[in-house]
């Protein structure tokens, strides 16, 4: 199915299902997806697309200058973002200057829109890196992925590009001491002739056990909304998402559902 790439360093603002009026920041190339996961539901497609195109990540100076210009324009027009969101064409924490870009973004936010939040959407694969861990502790909405409590489901859904360990990931997530939001995409269908459904009782039970250990301040539950690179994937019905959310709330964790 059709997918898309973000064509600018700064994009939007757009109305986000989970975050409100969001001004996006893309730290990855504008012509290629680069990620430590290769999720079968990713709206940006797969990592191996556009392999013949030379890629270059924007410099920290480019990112902050572009962000400054957009914030100045929004200020002049009287339009305020609810949140500045690092997302884009892959995993934002890959950027070598990620912590310095976060520091610069905080300074710009404080200058132009001090009420706006700063969010990072990350798959949590690089949170063991000290600079990434420090940066994520500085922002308002540290949103980290955990799509299942079963390694088999994560390997099928998220397609890690290197060895992935749920145990190690959970240990690293615990280190945030609750200063994080867990985001989970629920989806069902087939991939490479294998059935996939991370809303099964087994998946949910194992996932809930990990949430108790991680103790995040919030969990964001959602399902596919846009085109995916794999045909045959289906949304999880909103009634089912709400049912899962009630189980999370029974753990004393605030939950947001986007159907």
Phi-psi category of 88—alpha, beta or left, where left has phi over 0 and alpha has psi -120 to 50? Answer: left
| Residue 53: pLDDT band with limits 50, 70, 90 | low
Is it the case that residue 250 has pLDDT exceeding 60?
Answer: yes
b/e 157-185 (16+ beta carbons within 10 angstroms → b)? bbbbeeebebeebbebbeebeeebbbbbb
Q: What pLDDT was estimated at residue 54? A: 67
pTM: 0.94
Q: Considering only 27-41, 45-59, 127-141, 215-229, which range has the smallest mean pLDDT?
A: 45-59
The fraction of the chain above a pLDDT of 70, given in percent, is: 95
Position with higher pLDDT, 30 vs 149: 149
pLDDT (tens digit per residue) in 165-219? 999 999 999 999 999 999 999 999 998 888 999 999 999 999 999 999 999 999 9
Predicted local confidence at residue 80, as pLDDT: 94
What are the chain's domains? 10-258 (3.20.20.70)
């Amino acid at each position: 199915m059709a997918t898309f790439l973000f064509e600018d360093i700064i994009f939007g603002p757009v109305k986000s299902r989970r975050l409100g009026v969001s001004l996006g920041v893309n730290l990855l190339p504008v012509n290629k997806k680069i990620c430590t996961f290769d999720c079968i539901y990713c709206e940006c497609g797969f990592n191996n697309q556009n392999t013949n195109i030379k890629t270059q990540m924007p410099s920290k100076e480019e990112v902050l200058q572009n962000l400054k210009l957009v914030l100045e324009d929004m200020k002049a027009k009287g339009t305020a973002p609810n949140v500045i969101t690092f997302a884009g064409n892959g995993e934002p924490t890959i950027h070598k200057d990620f912590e310095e870009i976060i520091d610069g973004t905080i300074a710009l936010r404080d200058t132009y829109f001090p009420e706006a939040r700063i969010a990072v959407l990350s798959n949590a694969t690089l949170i063991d890196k000290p600079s990434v861990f420090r940066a994520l502790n500085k922002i308002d909405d540290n949103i980290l992925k955990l799509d299942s409590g079963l390694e088999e489901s994560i390997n099928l859904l998220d397609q890690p590009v290197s060895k992935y360990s749920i145990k190690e990931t959970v240990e690293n997530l615990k280190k945030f001491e609750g200063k994080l939001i867990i985001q989970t995409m629920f989806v069902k269908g087939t991939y490479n002739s294998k059935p996939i459904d991370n809303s099964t009782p087994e998946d949910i039970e194992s996932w809930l056990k990990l949430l108790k250990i991680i103790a995040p301040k919030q969990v964001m539950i959602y399902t596919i909304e846009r085109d995916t690179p794999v045909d045959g994937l289906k949304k999880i019905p909103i009634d089912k998402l709400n049912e899962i959310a009630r189980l999370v709330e029974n753990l004393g964790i605030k939950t947001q559902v986007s159907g």
